[in-house]
Amino acid sequence: MSPFRHLRASHMAPPGETGQENLYLRSLSERQIPVTVLLRDGETVSGWIEYFDDCMIRLTREHQPNLFIYKQQIRSIVETSHRRSQASAASRQEEQ
C-alpha cells in the first residue's frame, strides 16, 4: 500500500463555480476600470464593463457603440490602466 493513500482519498475536485468571476467583474464595473477584451476569434475591444450577468457583459466605449459580448466568446479580460474618470481627467488637463 502507498503511504500517501490517505491524501488521494481526501482530494476532491474543485467546485465548478467559486464566485470569483462575479467579484472581479463587479470590482471592474464599480471602479470603471478600462479593460481590453480578447475574443476567441482574435479580435480585441476596449472599454469598461458597465453591466454583466451570467451570460454576457456590456462593454461601454467612448465615441463608439457599446457592445454586448457573450462570455463564451471571451478569451480573456485585461485591465489597461487606472480608473476611467482619472484617465479622462488627465486627458482633459493635457488638452488645456
Nearest to 82, CA basis, from 32, 37, 38? 32
Judge whether residue 9 has pLDDT over 60.
Answer: no
Structure confidence by residue, pLDDT tens digits, 11-22: 666 666 788 999
Residue of higher predicted confidence among 57 and 10: 57
Structure confidence by residue, pLDDT tens digits, 25-45: 999 999 999 999 999 999 999
Has this prediction a pTM greater than 0.75?
no
Mean pLDDT of the chain: 82
The domain spans of the chain are 21-95
- Which band of pLDDT confidence, cut at 50, 70 and 90, is reported for residue 48? very high
- CATH fold, domain 21-95, is SH3 type barrels. (2.30.30)
Q: Given its phi and psi angles, is residue 92 left (phi above 0), alpha (psi -120 to 50 degrees) or beta?
A: alpha
Query: Cell triple for residue 64?
Result: 463608439
